[in-house]
Structure formats: structure tokens, C-alpha cells
């Protein structure tokens, strides 16, 4: 008999982690950080002994799935971390960034120690774990290297969705359909929500940039370093190289995003058909006239010397830190500024306040007038929406015995739960924290 304990992301969208126990082996699937304000206390301790864990199977590098690997290794984990090669490379960047922001976590070489325990596998490659457990990763279409996990153990097949991406996401391939499972553990982030198609994102970006050029204004795009910045660059490259917009300076002002872009540029073997076609034609997808990178702080400050129009892509995505802060402190009070949101803005963040057009916004310790023109491109999303989640589940050819919904706020989760019951007649459950399922 085996068991699966839901030790994170039950009614939240962060903190993903599951503990699988079978034949004396203890395996974690993801080791995510809680990032929602009300749940940060859950990060303080693990509900297990880190040194007793034999393996971690890691779906992808986002902090809400990987962040607590730092604490896991610090507190005695010496097993193996099994994941994909791009995830290992991205993990190194995100864990170093986290440790830089929270140095109290542990010594500076902690991310190196994590990396030493990592082993890379390709999508579709069968991996054997002692104890007659086998698994393989499949492309989740979410960010570079992200995977679903198909796992066989105790004569049963369990599928962990990880985060499910959207068909039509630029650069990377669409999610690989998974077709069989006894039990499915599935994310529900956007249950009850609908995203516009990804192609709309490029059209909106073009319209915004074209009017910025006409009005000669500065454009600031707060952006996540992983995935979103590369998607923006991909669209800018298409717009410029295909002659849809006149070139204008586009500056990536984020050391982390620049490092991530290098990882994306290296792994062409994981690109989708459109991206590969551009490469074959000799078009480097992250390179176009007037694209600049500001790696150093000095380079970032020199952006001020440019005369508009220009575009700055900088972190953090929700304006909670990073170089976007200084730019917006200076330019948010001006009507000659465009701010373009391309990602989710959580409640209580400065990004949300700007988006809601509050007249004054707190940035670090300063209060700044908000007179800029605000845009939002909703089509950018790394997560499948309600219908796309249902389509993903619809690929299973035989009905799974049970579906467990995780990684979603209570409302989103219950909307998806209801829809799955109605559409597919499946047994579906929204597990509470520490629910132990024996199979
Ligand atoms: Zn993710």
C-alpha cells in the first residue's frame, strides 16, 4: 500500500508539495514556497524530516514549486532531485535570487549544494526509482523545462499536472496530452476564468507601442523574469523583424531576466514549430535592432539619458521590488508615461494599486503620484484557463478513478470541481492540507 499526503497548495496558489510514500521510500513531488501574504507562516517548518526524504521530483523552477529546496537541503536532505535540464539551470537562478533577497536562510553556497543533488531527464524518458517506482516527465507547456509527471507505483498510475500551460504559448511547445491515470493531481489556478487567446497579446502590444511612438512617450513593462520577459522579447522580435513596428529602443533592465533569457536561448531543442522556423530562417528570436540589456546598475541609470519613445522591461512583475521601482518613482507622475501590465497583480501589491489607478501609490518608502496611462494585456498567461484545464483533463481516454484539485484559491478550485463533475462525471476532490490518501 502507498500513500500520498497533500502538504501544500491546498486552497492556495503557492506552496506546491506532495509526499509520496511507498515501500519505505519517501518522495516529494515539488517543494514549493508559499508566497501569499496570509500563508507565509507555513514556510517556517516541514511536516516531515528533510533527511528522511529519498527523492524530490521537481516539475519546474517557479519558486512556488521549488523555492523551499533551499531549506530542505539546509535542514539535512541529501537525496536526489530529479528534474529536466532547463529546470536545473533556471532553478540555480531563482534560488540564488531568493537567497540574495533573504540572506538569513543560509550560507551563500546553498544553491550550489542544491544543484549538486540535481539529475536531469528528458521529456518522455522513463526513470526508475528503487522500490519498483517509475516515472517520466511530459512537456507541460508552462515555462521552459516545465513538466507533468506520470508516475507508476504500487500497481497504480498517478499523474501530477504541475502547472499546466496554454496552447499557443510562444517559444515553447503546447502541453503534451496525458492519456491514462488512476489518480490525477491537478492544478486549478484559473478555475472559472477565461483568458483571451495568446495571439491577442501581440496585437495589443503592437497597438500600445505604435501609439507610444506617435506620442513619444516612455513605456514601462513590469515583467516576471521567467517566461514573460522572453515572450515579450519574442513578440518584439516578430514585430520589428517583420516590419510591423518601427524599431525603438527596448531595454531589458533586469539581471535575472537576462540570465533566464540565456537559458531560453540555449534550449532550442524545446522550441515549438514557429520559433524553430524563425531560427531556420536565420532570425535569432531574442535579438532585434535596438534591443539593449542593462545588466549593471550603472547601465540601468543611463536609461534616463535616452529620449523617448523607448520601452523598459524590468522586474519585479508586481512592482514589489527590483529596478522597475526607480523607473516608476521618476515617471509614474507623468502623463507622458505608459505602464503596461502583462501579468497577474496580487492584492496589496504596488502593481495592483497602479493598475487600479489609485491617485497615489507607495513605492518602497516613497509615495508617488500616479498620472501615467495604464494598460493591461490579459492574454499573457502561463496557466491554462478554465476551459483549457477541462480540455487537458478531457485527453484521458479512460476515466481516472479520482481527481484531486490543488493549486487554486477556494473559489477557483470549487468552480473547476463543479465543472469536472458535470462535464466528465468524475470523482473529484479538493483536499485539505495534510490530507493523506492511501492507495
Ligand atoms: Zn509555475
Using the Cα atoms of residue 93, residue 94, residue 95 and residue 100 in order, give the sign of their dihedral.
positive
Using the Cα atoms of residue 262, residue 268, residue 270 and residue 275 in order, give the sign of their dihedral.
positive
d(CA 182, CA 401): 5
Average pLDDT over residues 184-206: 95
11 to 8, 24, 278, 299: CA distances (angstroms): 9, 29, 41, 42
- pLDDT tens track for 310-369: 999 999 999 999 999 999 999 999 999 999 999 988 878 899 999 999 999 999 999 999
Residue 193: pLDDT band with limits 50, 70, 90: very high
d(CA 113, CA 387): 40
CA atoms lying within 13 Å on the CB side of residue 112: 3
| Short-list 379, 435, 395, 390, CA closest to 416 | 390
Burial (Cβ within 10 Å: 0-12, 13-18, ≥19) of residue 152: middle
Average pLDDT over residues 214-225: 97
- pLDDT tens track for 44-67: 999 999 999 999 999 999 999 999
d(CA 30, CA 265): 25
Q: How far is the CA of 145 from the centre of ligand 1 (A)?
A: 11
pLDDT value at residue 68: 98
d(CA 256, CA 91): 12
Residue 36: pLDDT band with limits 50, 70, 90: confident
**Which ranges in 14-59 belong to alpha helices (H)?**
none
Q: How far apart are the first and last CA of the chain?
A: 6
DSSP state of 357: T
Element housing 250 (H / E) = strand 250-252
Q: How far is the CA of 165 from the centre of ligand 1 (A)?
A: 9
Burial (Cβ within 10 Å: 0-12, 13-18, ≥19) of residue 32: buried
Taking the domain 3-193+382-438, which CATH number applies?
A: 3.60.15.10
Q: How far is the CA of 203 from the centre of ligand 1 (A)?
A: 25
- pLDDT tens track for 143-165: 999 999 999 999 999 999 999 99
Does the domain at 198-376 match CATH 3.40.50.10890? Answer given as yes
Q: How far is the CA of 379 from the centre of ligand 1 (A)?
A: 16
Q: How far is the CA of 406 from the centre of ligand 1 (A)?
A: 13
Q: How far is the CA of 231 from the centre of ligand 1 (A)?
A: 15
**b/e sequence 181-220, b meaning 16+ C-beta within 10 Å:** bbbbbbbbbbbbbebeebeebbbbbbebbbebbeeebbbb
Q: How far is the CA of 65 from the centre of ligand 1 (A)?
A: 7
Domain boundaries, the chain: 3-193+382-438, 198-376
Average pLDDT over residues 72-100: 97
Instruction: Answer for the pair 405, 164: CB distance below 8 angstroms, yes or no.
Output: no
> pLDDT > 90: what percent of the chain?
94
Q: How far is the CA of 14 from the centre of ligand 1 (A)?
A: 9
Amino acid at each position: 500500500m502507498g500513500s500520498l499526503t497533500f502538504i501544500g497548495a491546498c486552497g492556495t496558489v503557492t506552496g506546491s508539495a506532495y509526499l509520496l510514500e511507498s515501500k519505505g521510500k519517501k518522495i516529494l513531488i515539488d517543494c514549493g514556497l508559499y508566497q501569499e501574504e496570509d500563508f507565509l507562516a507555513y514556510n517556517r517548518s516541514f511536516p516531515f524530516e528533510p533527511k528522511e526524504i529519498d527523492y524530490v521530483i521537481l516539475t519546474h523552477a517557479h519558486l512556488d514549486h521549488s523555492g523551499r529546496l533551499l531549506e530542505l537541503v539546509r535542514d539535512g536532505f541529501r537525496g536526489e532531485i530529479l528534474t529536466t535540464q532547463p529546470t536545473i539551470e533556471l532553478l540555480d537562478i531563482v534560488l540564488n535570487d531568493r537567497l540574495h533577497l533573504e540572506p538569513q536562510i543560509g550560507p551563500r553556497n546553498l544553491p550550489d549544494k542544491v544543484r549538486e543533488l540535481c539529475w536531469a531527464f528528458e521529456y518522455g524518458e522513463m526513470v526508475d526509482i528503487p522500490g519498483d517506482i517509475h516515472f517520466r516527465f511530459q512537456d507541460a507547456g508552462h515555462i521552459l523545462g516545465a513538466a507533468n509527471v506520470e508516475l507508476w507505483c504500487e500497481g497504480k498510475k498517478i499523474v501530477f499536472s504541475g502547472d499546466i500551460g496554454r496552447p499557443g504559448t510562444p517559444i515553447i511547445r503546447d502541453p503534451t496530452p496525458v492519456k491514462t491515470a488512476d489518480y490525477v493531481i491537478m492544478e486549478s489556478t484559473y478555475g472559472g476564468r477565461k483568458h483571451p487567446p495568446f495571439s491577442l497579446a501581440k496585437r495589443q502590444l503592437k497597438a500600445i507601442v505604435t501609439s507610444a511612438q506617435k506620442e513619444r512617450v516612455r513605456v514601462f513593462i513590469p515583467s516576471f523574469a521567467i517566461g514573460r520577459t522572453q515572450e515579450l522579447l519574442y513578440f518584439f522580435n516578430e514585430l520589428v523583424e517583420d516590419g510591423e513596428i518601427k524599431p525603438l529602443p527596448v531595454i531589458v533592465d533586469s539581471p535575472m531576466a537576462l540570465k533566464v533569457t540565456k537559458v531560453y536561448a540555449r534550449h532550442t531543442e524545446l522550441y515549438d514549430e514557429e520559433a524553430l522556423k524563425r531560427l531556420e530562417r536565420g532570425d535569432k528570436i531574442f535579438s532585434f535592432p535596438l534591443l539593449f540589456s542593462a545588466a549593471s546598475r550603472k547601465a540601468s541609470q543611463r536609461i534616463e539619458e535616452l529620449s523617448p519613445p523607448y520601452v523598459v522591461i524590468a522586474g519585479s512583475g508586481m512592482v514589489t521590488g527590483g529596478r522597475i521601482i526607480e523607473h516608476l518613482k521618476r515617471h509614474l507622475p507623468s502623463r507622458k508615461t505608459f505602464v503596461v501590465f502583462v501579468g497577474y497583480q496580487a492584492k496589496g501589491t504596488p502593481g495592483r494599486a497602479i493598475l487600479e489607478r489609485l491617485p497615489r501609490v507607495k513605492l518602497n518608502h516613497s509615495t508617488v503620484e500616479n498620472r501615467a496611462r495604464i494598460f493591461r494585456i490579459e492574454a499573457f498567461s502561463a496557466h491554462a484557463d478554465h476551459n483549457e484545464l477541462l480540455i487537458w483533463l478531457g485527453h484521458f481516454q479512460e476515466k481516472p478513478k479520482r481527481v484531486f484539485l490543488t493549486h487554486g484559491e477556494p473559489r477557483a478550485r470549487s468552480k473547476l470541481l463543479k465543472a469536472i463533475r458535470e462535464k466528465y462525471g468524475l470523482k473529484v476532490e479538493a483536499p485539505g492540507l495534510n490530507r493523506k490518501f492511501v492507495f
